[in-house]
Amino acid sequence: MTGSGLLQRHLSFLEALRGAGLPVSLAEDLDAVAALGAVGWHDRETVRETYAATLVKRLGHRPTFDTLFDLWFPRMIGGGVAEQGRAAADETSSEPTSRDNAAALADLRERLSAALTSGDEQALAALAAEALGRFGAMPGRGPGLSSWSAYTALQRVSPADLVGRVAQGLVDGGLDGEAAERRAGGRVGDFTRRVEDDARRRIAEEKGAEHVADVAVRPSLDRLDLTTARRADLDELRREIYPLARRLASRLTQEQHARRRGPLDVRRTVRASMSTGGVPLVTHHKPRRPHRTELVVLCDVSGSVASFARFTLMLVFALREQFTNVRAFTFVDTVHEVTHHFTPGGDLADTMTALAADTDKAATWGRTHYGRALSRFASEHGDAVTSRSSLLVLGDARSNHGDLALDVVRDLAGTARHAHWLNPERRRHWDTGDSAASAYGAIVPMVECRNLAQLTEFVHDLAR
Amino acid sequence: MPDPTPTQAPTTTWFASPDDAVARLGEVGYLADTATGTVGFLAGALEKPLLVEGPAGVGKTELAKAVARAAGADLVRLQCYEGLDEARALYEWNYKKQLLRIQSSKDDQAWSETHDDIFTEEFLLTRPLLTAIRREEPTVLLIDEVDKTDVEVEGLLLEVLSDFAVTIPELGTVAATRRPFVVLTSNASRELSEAVKRRCLYLHLDYPDAEREREIVLSQVPELEEKVAGQLVAAVGRLRELELKKAPSIAESVDWARTLVALEIGDLDDAAIDRTLGVVLKHSSDTDRAVRELRLRA
């Protein structure tokens, strides 16, 4: 492994994994090397699975791993063998076909449509490489400045326009219309992803894998910034919600059980000691009374924190079994109760749709005004906050320089058993511009909550 | 790299190569994909425990059983649950028998002799972990649903998983003569500790693709018609795309197939799906959603 540069590649690959937040220990590093010795390097997919089995111990890390693996151990170099073969054939005809022209485009689209219809994985991979090589090249001003653009390639080839044709082909193959449409869409999506992967591969080839890893690899799901999450990411996150809620719930019950022994029950201990002649051999304890917390959530749903709010409301929805009573309010410049959407046993997707439709009721003028919203909350729903409830405020504390109503917040925080403020902004952005983070933070403990990992930690502490 | 294969004790070679693993698992009725085959081969070749995670009902436990069948090994199973402790996982002294031994000993026998006597093999009750380690024959040790145990049991597992040895204070350390093939399964209801994960190879089993699922269903329920199997797998695939509380697993697909055979349904149309949906969906809100999204009731 030493002489061939393989060791160097292996080490820099591990370095990149660690850089992307995967906890890869030295022991696992050695395991990977031993495992690769056992399986050999002849098959790329085997190597991938071997690395995955020894280094990646968490499902959420797998996409990051796969992206990095593709960069460090690319499927092929340059245009691959296929292109070289074609180039050799072209010499005889003296007409270079790897030029971007209308005929080539039509030809590629023709073959792509056929491959999408038949679902031929190999052909699709080759076509993705070809599409990028032909239509995605961005000639630079000098050597080393040229680059590759998946965007340009996809614009030219526009596989999305092929969905209809592919679906028709699938219908002819015996599928019913709806299923064909869905499958065609899925395959075109796959193809798009392949082209993007290939662009990363080509760029990595020229600029070095480390360079691409720094700029193009998305962080793993639990470290993804909730405020900048894309729609696809949110869907991914949504899938994480139930496992997360279940994990939190079981962790909580386990911890409650671990501390199950309450104070000494003198009565039962003395009675039990009768059988051993008055010597208390076994002590009996009172069962611990689990305190059930009520949760009151105040959620800023203005545009700046919308995706964060959506996500947290999803979590509140999933967690409501943990709390005997959940009341949820949304606000922008006025406050609106949304508790009735959280029906037990209800459907998550429906609830989120209903909540989204309800958002505009939280705004009268449409500009965030914390002071007005919080005052309205205290006057209209003040009874929601009692000495048994935990108050949770979600928002970036950016109030457009309006009145902050600090006294109202102080009252609310004083009444509630606990009060917390989750701020989806980076701590270093607090107090910049119109942010009143430290003014509120002085009254209600404010926590930075930008990603799933931080949120998990917080919810765990909250329900304890 | 000096030596690719780790020190080989007189152990079984479980599988010769990843492809061999897939083939032999296939022979005993477990249709494995390449990832499963590769990791199964590695677990045997490196003698490292294999941690299998994934949603309920995708064949995690079945994998361990299939490895045992394919290699002609015996399966020792430790079912984990909350409150599992050392006495039920590792070993226990047979108190009653020890007490009898003490009572029946003559008065002139010195205490130290008796003491040496009652802490011997004869009075030891071995539990799954110790049993698996002491066995001479090839063994597959299945530690099922590790995530259900308390964190303390994980500590107990560490010694077993890394050294394949169990320390009994009165007897000394019992080391494995032949390392078992260890499979741990988890539903990920709790994160396992880093220490356990570090010692294991990791495999995430997920719902299979349509083609493989069809093969699995057909191999489990051979009476099912091919056409219905195709329809069934397509329907299950669509159900999994919906946001359900509990997506149907392979086990449920197979149950559904059995139901269809029992009801003699030869064509899985919308009406038939609607009538038998209860087999695959276990929440009423899920059923409502499926009926709505798949437009089962026109």
Using the Cα atoms of residue B127, residue B130, residue B136 and residue B139 in order, give the sign of their dihedral: positive
Span B240-255, pLDDT tens digits: 887 777 888 998 999 9
Residues A207 and A332 occupy one common structural domain:
no
Length of chain B equals 298
Q: Which residue from A35, A238, A243 is facing B243, i.e. has the nearest CB?
A: A238
CA-based nearest distance A331→chain B, Å: 27
Binary contact (A254, B150; C-beta < 8 A): yes
Q: Which residue from A38, A243, A258 is facing B46, i.e. has the nearest CB?
A: A38
Residue A228 lies in a domain: no
Optimal mutation site among B243, B267, B293, interface A, most CBs of chain A within 10 A? B243
Average pLDDT, chain B: 85
Dihedrals φ, ψ of B139, to 5°?
A: -135, 140
Residue A113 lies in a domain: yes
Q: Which residue from B35, B39, B245 is facing A242, i.e. has the nearest CB?
A: B245
Q: Looking at the predicted structure, is the pLDDT value of residue B2 above 70?
A: no
Binary contact (A52, B202; C-beta < 8 A): yes
Cα separation, A165 vs B32, in Å, equals 34
Per residue of chain A (464 residues), give pLDDT as tens.
556 788 888 999 998 888 887 889 999 999 999 999 988 888 888 999 999 999 998 887 888 898 889 888 888 777 665 555 454 444 444 344 455 677 788 888 888 888 888 877 788 888 888 888 878 777 766 666 667 787 888 888 888 888 888 888 888 876 677 777 878 888 888 888 888 888 888 887 777 777 777 766 666 666 777 666 666 676 677 666 666 666 666 655 555 555 556 788 888 888 888 888 888 888 888 776 655 667 888 888 877 777 777 777 777 777 666 666 778 888 888 888 888 877 766 666 677 777 777 777 777 777 788 888 888 888 888 888 888 787 888 888 888 887 888 888 888 888 887 788 888 888 888 888 888 888 888 888 888 888 877 877 776 666 55
Whole-number pLDDT of residue A93 = 41
Residue A287 lies in a domain: no
Binary contact (A39, B234; C-beta < 8 A): no
Mean pLDDT of B162-187: 88
Span A376-432, pLDDT tens digits: 888 888 888 888 787 888 888 888 887 888 888 888 888 887 788 888 888 888 888
Whole-number pLDDT of residue B201 = 93
Looking at per-residue pLDDT, the higher value among B117 and A173 belongs to B117
Name the closest residue on chain A to residue B235, using Cα atoms: A179
Span B68-84, pLDDT tens digits: 999 999 999 999 987 78
Q: Domain count of chain A? A: 3
| Contact with chain A for residue B7, Cβ under 8 A | no
| Contact with chain A for residue B285, Cβ under 8 A | yes
Q: Which residue from B53, B189, B197 is facing A250, i.e. has the nearest CB?
A: B189
Residue A393 lies in a domain: yes
Optimal mutation site among A44, A49, A257, interface B, most CBs of chain B within 10 A? A49
Reading the block at residue A133, the tokens are 């090589």
| Contact with chain A for residue B5, Cβ under 8 A | yes
Q: Looking at the predicted structure, is the pLDDT value of residue B39 above 90?
A: yes
Q: Looking at the predicted structure, is the pLDDT value of residue B184 above 90?
A: yes
Optimal mutation site among B5, B8, B19, B38, interface A, most CBs of chain A within 10 A? B38
Residues A306 and A428 occupy one common structural domain:
yes
CA-based nearest distance A388→chain B, Å: 28
Optimal mutation site among A10, A26, A42, A46, interface B, most CBs of chain B within 10 A? A46
Binary contact (A345, B283; C-beta < 8 A): yes
Looking at per-residue pLDDT, the higher value among A101 and B291 belongs to B291
Binary contact (B17, A53; C-beta < 8 A): no
Angle subtended at Cα B189 by Cα B185 and Cα B190, rounded to the nearest 5 degrees:
90
Residues A47 and A121 occupy one common structural domain:
no
| Contact with chain A for residue B279, Cβ under 8 A | no
Domain range B18-82+128-204, its CATH number among 3.40.50.300, 3.40.190.10, 1.20.1510.10, 3.40.50.12170: 3.40.50.300
Looking at per-residue pLDDT, the higher value among B48 and A92 belongs to B48
Binary contact (A39, B53; C-beta < 8 A): no
Binary contact (A38, B82; C-beta < 8 A): no
Cα separation, A330 vs A337, in Å, equals 6
Residue A1 lies in a domain: no
Whole-number pLDDT of residue B21 = 92
Optimal mutation site among B41, B82, B231, B295, interface A, most CBs of chain A within 10 A? B41
Residues A203 and A244 occupy one common structural domain:
no
Q: Which residue from A49, A251, A349 is facing B34, i.e. has the nearest CB?
A: A49
Whole-number pLDDT of residue A96 = 42
Reading the block at residue A279, the tokens are 């010597």
Whole-number pLDDT of residue A292 = 62
Residues A323 and A421 occupy one common structural domain:
yes
Chain B residues with CB-CB distance to A246 below 8 A: 189
Cα separation, B141 vs B293, in Å, equals 43
Residue A226 lies in a domain: no
Cα separation, A191 vs A97, in Å, equals 22
Residue A400: which CATH number? 3.40.50.410
Residues 259-278 of B with CB under 8 A from A: none
Residue A281 lies in a domain: no
Packed helices B111-118 and B95-104: angle between N→C axes, nearest 10 degrees: 150
Whole-number pLDDT of residue A462 = 62
Chain B residues with CB-CB distance to A38 below 8 A: 4-5, 41-42, 45-46
Optimal mutation site among B52, B187, B204, B281, interface A, most CBs of chain A within 10 A? B204
Domain span at residue A109? Answer: 80-215
Chain A residues with CB-CB distance to B46 below 8 A: 31, 34-35, 38
Among A53, A72, A91, the domain-final residue is A72
Domain residue extents for chain B? 18-82+128-204, 91-126, 210-290
CA-based nearest distance B121→chain A, Å: 30
Residue A271 lies in a domain: no
Residues of A with CB under 8 A from a CB of B: 1-2, 23, 25, 27-28, 31, 33-35, 37-39, 45-46, 49-50, 52-54, 56-59, 62, 179, 238-239, 242-243, 246-247, 250-251, 254, 257-258, 345-350
Q: Which residues contact B187 (CB under 8 A, 6 or more apart)?
A: B53, B54, B55, B56, B145, B147
Whole-number pLDDT of residue A145 = 62
Sequential DSSP letters for chain B: ---SSPP--S-----SSHHHHHHHHHHTT----HHHHHHHHHHHHHT--EEEE-STTSSHHHHHHHHHHHHTPEEEEEE--TT--HHHHTEEE-HHHHHHHHHHS-TTS-HHHHHHHHSSGGGEEE-HHHHHHH-SS-EEEEEE-GGGS-HHHHHHHHHHHHH-EEEETTTEEEE-SS--EEEEEE--SSPPPHHHHHHSEEEE--PPPHHHHHHHHHHH-TTS-HHHHHHHHHHHHHHHHS--SS---HHHHHHHHHHHHHHT-----HHHHHHHGGGT--SHHHHHHHHHHTT---
Residues A211 and A317 occupy one common structural domain:
no
CA-based nearest distance A126→chain B, Å: 22
Residues A29 and A163 occupy one common structural domain:
no
